[in-house]
Structure 1
Amino acid sequence: MPAAPHDLDQTFLALPLRALADAALARARALGAEHADFRLERVRSAMWRLRDARTSATSDTTDLGYAVRVVHNGAWGFAAGVDLTMDAAARVAGQAVAMAKLSAKVAEAAGTGTAAPRASGEGRRWVMGGKVELADEPVHPDRTWVSSYEIDPFGVPDAEKTGLLAEWSARLLAAPGVAHVDAQLLAAQENKFYADTAGTSTTQQRIRLHPELTAVAVDPATGDFESMRTLAPPVGRGWEYLTGGYDWVGELDRMPEHLAEKLRAPSVEPGSYDLVIDPSNLWLTIHESIGHATELDRALGYEAAYAGTSFATFDQLGSLVYGSPIMQVTGDRTAEHGLATIGYDDEGVAAQSWDLIKDGILTGYQLDRRMAKLTGFPRSNGCAYADSPSHVPVQRMANVSLRPAPNGPSTEELIAGVERGIYLVGDRSWSIDMQRYNFQFTQQRAYLVRNGRLAGQLRDVAYQATTTDFWGSMVALGGPQTYVLGGAFNCGKAQPGQIAAVSHGCPSAVFEGVNVLNTTQEAGR
């Protein structure tokens, strides 16, 4: 949502944002930088954790500082500082230019030459080095943006936060069979001011929350145990999410019964099943097999040393059959309450929504300005992000989402169409290879489906496939009424490592003939 200046945190606005930026950018220009940008951030992160309705840990930290990034003589330079004076900002800009000069010398000595495609068995790979150029972006002067929320969680007394978590924990502990309950709330507020030598300047504020409760049941006769988490996703919302934005009481009241049934459920018979997958599980499969695979830096091999590559290589753009023709996937930096939703990215690029997969065909990637220019795209789609003022922006994931079927069926109607299958609810563990191709996922709850009806829970269920086989087996999508925006606070990438929060929306969906494993049998092999 666009914001008026008074919507922004006044203590952040009281900092000398413009003066520091002007000092840094003027110094970078004077030293011959072709491009320079300045980013001042204040990131506040807090955590409240309870064990069996008693507080076990809390934290509340703030990271405040700024960074200057430059392109000088075709090379990157970056430096960061915490001294909020004009002289210090100018010195940091000078350090960034000095780093760019050093980088240019290192590249020249290494003989990397210009960036160019190089044939390999994985499609075209790209070598590092060469002149840094950025895709064009319209100038956005004096823009402000605040994420969509009603109540700032940092304005709510800590006693009220822990009190609500304790009340919910006690509710679970009072249920028969529940032995232990863990509860936690994560909260973050990001304030960013960005300015560059082209004339763009943006001031932004984001709020996000992740509440979570986990109940544990123990069979006293056998010592066997099971655990189950709430399905409520993390969101780009405020305190209102915990006081009326989700059916917390209903979910907490149902959890003990679900947990007891799971504890006595039979182990799954491995084999081929039709799967009905709830959004609370499918979001994670999207994240791992589509979200990461369509990051262009991965597809070009730039992340191979740490985060991995992608089977969806750049030479397959427009031709790779990613999944069935009903598959429509978008990258989106504008979704309301999305964890990766912004007004402008950390390169001054305005938020957008675009196609990644259309009718089952790979049609796009997630880009920053360098990658866009390098590969011939006219513009970045706004995927540059740094998780700290001391980190350089890198290409990070947008809200990558599978679109529902217009006027599509309910989850119950999808289940009714399955003769022999399994209905999967909630995310649990995952495993996927470095190319984002071979994977295995588990869930919080799995229900046998027999003749269109749920026939009780199963244990030890995991589904295994390759990315293209899995998405190619998708035969039905739920309607908009089944669509849920899931997500995570802790997506990791880059060296040094950075963490980003991201959402993934999807409807319920049906997949035919997916290989199901018994995790207990697999572990015993």
Structure 2
Amino acid sequence: MPHSIDEDFLALPLRALADAALARARALGADHADFRFERVRSASLRLRDAKPAASSDITDLGYAVRVVHGGAWGFASGVDLTMDAAARVAAQAVAMAKLSAKVIAAAGSDERVELADEPVHADRTWVSAYEINPFEVPDAEKTALLVDWSERLLAAKGVAHADASLLSVHENKFYADTAGTTTTQQRVRVHPQLTAVAVDPESGEFDSMRTLAPPAGRGWEYLRGTGWDWDAELAEIPALLAEKMSAPSVEAGAYDLVVDPSNLWLTIHESIGHATELDRALGYEAAYAGTSFATFDQLGKLRYGSEIMNVTGDRTAEHGLATIGYDDEGVAGQTWDLVKDGVLVGYQLDRRIARLTGLGRSNGCAYADSPAHVPVQRMANVSLQPAPGGPSTEELISGVERGIYVVGDRSWSIDMQRYNFQFTGQRFFKIENGRLAGQLRDVAYQATTTDFWGSMAAVGGPQTYVLGGAFNCGKAQPGQVAAVSHGCPSALFRDVNILNTTQEAGR
């Protein structure tokens, strides 16, 4: 049954505060003004060896006013829920824009902030797809489930320690602007995770294995088995970890790779997701994690990967972490192409960058993680599309004579232009003559972005597609975090360079 917006949120003076702020901004000559009221509740629960180790439950509540005045941005935020205070915050935003305009003029720039047009969305509401609000579940029930899962791992032979965690977020947002758009939204997301640790008592050597279950735009039902088989995964981890502990170290060289969605989502995030943020490609974002090799002059020209590579940006995917009804500039959620038949054909945009580059309408990528932060261009759900009627993961493996099957994400490294990278994983299986032949250790794959995606020889069918993702994508200064999903099928890559991480560390 679909949820409705929380009544206690709707009982707040949302429209009255917005009216006061926007009226003051208009009176002071703002060309554009928007008002955003947010209530974001975030909870964290962590267990160590089936015993509670840490917990938190924090609510961030407040509002922000952003204006365009004199061709410059202005921004201010507040927490006082009175009409006079909202008007003062609007006046502060206008004063900031006036100051910014002076600084820009003194620097010799004639660039002016202008926003791409967007249809008016009046009195719209949107609620994400979930069944049970995790904040309506008693803490004792949450703890009991994590204790049970931890004890299952600890009872298995070879498991010395077990870590468990649950992150939950409930986000309410009201937006209004001087064009007449008003939206009210509610999102829920959860991230459960368990890690088993094995220790060799003689050598002191240790390793770990983590659940592959991705974070999801779901509620408590996810931990009850809707969307993921927790019982099956917890049952298989101890044996896989024991095998990993005794597995041989990989021999460095070139291998064919079959990459599982549980690993490939992160490669997509780092080498495509960030690289196709247009503010980064233009150089407007550089201080946090760099710019992008996929510069604007290469739109429609850059051979990003093989002809079977099709990547979309998406703000509408069911249960996606970056799925919204409307972004923080009042733009409706959309789906669009980023890479088509291996060629760069699109970027992720907000309203200012869309107008600046002449690309037309924004595709809804403005987001702020707090009422105290200004919206910045943030990542959509960026996903590699499966092949209709494409092969299963087992069929991909069967076509490899000498290779490695990569499962689960772990560490990663990529340069400041999103071009040279290295990724590891949770589990690596040797492939010999089309069959899995036991696990390997100390594996990392290394490539440039275009070489890696250019080596993609096959993508799996829809039956292999999984929506992975993370809660903690970082960007901007002051730093902000955003949750984002990346869907993908299993995929086959030919002749990828494999490093032995132990040997590399010893150099």
Please state whether the residue corresponding to 1:207 is helix, strand or coil.
strand
With the length of structure 2 as denominator, give the TM-score of the two structures: 0.99
Deviations 1:44-94 (A, max 9, x none): 000000000000101000000000000011111000000000000000000
Give the aligned partner of residue 307 of structure 1: 289
Give the aligned partner of residue 170 of structure 1: 151
Q: Hey, what's the Cα distance between the residues in 2 that align with 1:328 and 1:277?
A: 16
Give the aligned partner of residue 40 of structure 2: 43
Q: Does 1:104 align with 2:101?
A: yes
- Cα deviation for residue 304 of structure 1 reads 1.4
Q: Does 1:435 align with 2:442?
A: no
Instruction: Extract structure 1 runs of 4+ deviating beyond 4 A.
Output: none
Please state whether the residue corresponding to 2:160 is helix, strand or coil.
strand
Please state whether the residue corresponding to 1:172 is helix, strand or coil.
helix
Q: Hey, what's the Cα distance between the residues in 2 that align with 1:25 and 1:208?
A: 31
Match of 2:376 among 372, 390, 394: 394
Q: Hey, what's the Cα distance between the residues in 2 that align with 1:434 and 1:17?
A: 41
Match of 2:185 among 201, 204, 207: 204
Q: Hey, what's the Cα distance between the residues in 1 that align with 2:506 and 2:289?
A: 29
Equivalent position amino acid for 2:189 in 1: R
Counterparts in 2 of 1:218-257, with a 5 A limit?
A: 218-245=199-226, 246-257=228-239
Give the aligned partner of residue 62 of structure 1: 59
Give the aligned partner of residue 487 of structure 2: 505
- Cα deviation for residue 165 of structure 1 reads 0.2
Give the aligned partner of residue 76 of structure 2: 79
Please state whether the residue corresponding to 1:288 is helix, strand or coil.
helix
Q: Does 1:366 align with 2:348?
A: yes
Q: Hey, what's the Cα distance between the residues in 2 that align with 1:305 and 1:261?
A: 42
CA RMSD of aligned residues (A): 0.8
- Cα deviation for residue 309 of structure 1 reads 0.4
- Cα deviation for residue 503 of structure 1 reads 0.1
Q: Hey, what's the Cα distance between the residues in 1 that align with 2:50 and 2:105?
A: 60
- Cα deviation for residue 111 of structure 1 reads 1.1
- Cα deviation for residue 488 of structure 1 reads 0.2
Q: Does 1:144 align with 2:99?
A: no
Q: Hey, what's the Cα distance between the residues in 2 that align with 1:43 and 1:189?
A: 6
Q: Hey, what's the Cα distance between the residues in 2 that align with 1:433 and 1:443?
A: 19
- Cα deviation for residue 112 of structure 1 reads 1.9
Give the aligned partner of residue 22 of structure 1: 19
Deviations 1:251-272 (A, max 9, x none): 0000000000000000000000
- Cα deviation for residue 305 of structure 1 reads 2.1
With the length of structure 1 as denominator, give the TM-score of the two structures: 0.96
Give the aligned partner of residue 123 of structure 1: none
Q: Hey, what's the Cα distance between the residues in 1 that align with 2:266 and 2:47?
A: 26
Equivalent position amino acid for 2:451 in 1: D
Q: Does 1:291 align with 2:291?
A: no
Q: Hey, what's the Cα distance between the residues in 2 that align with 1:264 and 1:131?
A: 62
Give the aligned partner of residue 194 of structure 1: 175
Q: Hey, what's the Cα distance between the residues in 2 that align with 1:452 and 1:467?
A: 26
Give the aligned partner of residue 118 of structure 1: none
Identity %: 82
Counterparts in 2 of 1:376-395, with a 5 A limit?
A: 376-395=358-377
Please state whether the residue corresponding to 2:89 is helix, strand or coil.
helix
Deviations 1:449-472 (A, max 9, x none): 000000000000000000000000
Structure 1 unmatched ranges of 5 or more: 114-129
Equivalent position amino acid for 2:203 in 1: T
Please state whether the residue corresponding to 1:97 is helix, strand or coil.
helix
Q: Hey, what's the Cα distance between the residues in 1 that align with 2:100 and 2:409?
A: 43
Structure 2 unmatched ranges of 5 or more: none
Match of 1:457 among 434, 439, 442: 439
Q: Hey, what's the Cα distance between the residues in 1 that align with 2:107 and 2:336?
A: 38
Q: Does 1:416 align with 2:398?
A: yes
Q: Hey, what's the Cα distance between the residues in 2 that align with 1:248 and 1:301?
A: 43
Deviations 1:117-143 (A, max 9, x none): xxxxxxxxxxxxx11100000000000
Match of 2:141 among 160, 168, 173: 160
Conserved 8 A contact 1:307-1:494: no
Deviations 1:407-445 (A, max 9, x none): 001100110110000000000000000000000000000
Equivalent position amino acid for 1:217 in 2: A
Count of paired positions: 506
Deviations 1:190-228 (A, max 9, x none): 100000000000000000000000000011121111101
Q: Hey, what's the Cα distance between the residues in 2 that align with 1:307 and 1:20?
A: 36
Please state whether the residue corresponding to 1:178 is helix, strand or coil.
coil
Give the aligned partner of residue 164 of structure 2: 183
Give the aligned partner of residue 86 of structure 2: 89
Q: Does 1:490 align with 2:472?
A: yes
Q: Hey, what's the Cα distance between the residues in 2 that align with 1:213 and 1:243?
A: 15
Q: Hey, what's the Cα distance between the residues in 2 that align with 1:229 and 1:520?
A: 21
Conserved 8 A contact 1:207-1:237: yes
- Cα deviation for residue 306 of structure 1 reads 2.3
Q: Hey, what's the Cα distance between the residues in 2 that align with 1:346 and 1:249?
A: 39
Conserved 8 A contact 1:208-1:238: yes
Deviations 1:468-505 (A, max 9, x none): 00000000010000000000000000010000000000
- Cα deviation for residue 108 of structure 1 reads 1.1
